[in-house]
Amino acid sequence: MRCPARAHIAYAVWLHTQDGFGWTNGVALWLLERYAQSFARELREDGELGDLANQ
Amino acid sequence: MLILGTSPSSAQVSAACFTPLWAGACSAAQAEAAVASLRGSGLLQPGGVATTLVASGQQWDWPNAWPPLQQMLVEGLAGCGAAGGAVLAEEVALCWLRSNHRGWSRDGVMREKYDATRPGESGGGGEYAPQVCLSLAYHNV
């Protein structure tokens, strides 16, 4: 199952190749590998998922 | 050359003080003390862990938070085995992700550094304009 939070930030996979600030993207992805479920739950509770809430 | 054990220690509180957790260089007692110390340090903010408590205006100081330090702290806390380490690791991770996500949702960019006290806001200071990833591209995975 796709995690909306992961999808929301994972555009960074592409950005990682685009310039020198892959570290922000890389760290975000590394953290999402470990905490995606709790982060998604937090976003849902905070109402910050926006259009992705129904994915 | 820095000679560990003989060079004087800085009295400044810094996120770097906790990187021995990541390096696996702490005893169990030291790890437990480090977890408690980080929690009470004032460095942990809503948008992640700030570099230091010194508001110098430089990019390596308060209130800036940098990605590599967050990663090292989370990994170190999660793996140190100390009571409360894993819980604090998750807190740091979620604070950081919240800041990344909030900033990107609003501005469409990921930043090289953030303001730890204001999730989603860019960090500042230093000799150059804060850097961003200049793309609005969205890739679903």
Tell me the domain boundaries of chain A.
4-54
Mean pLDDT of all residues in B114-141: 73
How far, in Å, CA of B141 to CA of B139, rounded?
A: 6
A38 touches chain B (CB under 8 A): yes
Say which residues have a Cβ less than 8 Å from residue B62's Cβ, sequence separation at least 6.
B50, B51, B52, B53, B54, B55, B56, B116
Tens of pLDDT along B23-81?
889 999 999 999 999 999 999 999 999 999 999 999 999 999 999 899 999 999 999 99
For chain A, the farthest-separated pair of C-alpha atoms sits apart, in whole angstroms, at 33
Quick check: A29 pLDDT over 90?
no
Verify whether the Cβ–Cβ distance A10 to B133 is below 8 Å.
Answer: no
Mutate to test the interface with A, among B22, B88, B97, B121 (most CBs of A within 10 A): B97
Question: Does position A44 have pLDDT exceeding 50, yes or no?
Answer: yes
Whether B13 shows a pLDDT value over 90: the answer reads: yes
pTM: 0.82
- Spatial separation of the C-alpha atoms in residues A31 and A44, rounded to whole Å: 18
What tokens were used for B40?
């009470």
Q: SS3 for B45?
A: strand
Residue B53 to chain A, least CA–CA distance (Å) = 22
Which pLDDT belongs to residue A20?
45
Residue among A11, A17, A19, A24 with most chain B CBs within 10 A, to mutate: A24
What average pLDDT does range B126-131 have in this prediction?
75
Please give the pLDDT value at position B130. Answer: 72
**pLDDT score for B4:** 63
Which pLDDT score is estimated for B133? 62
Residue B7's pLDDT is 73
Q: Which of B130, B132, B20 is nearest to B80 (CA)?
A: B20
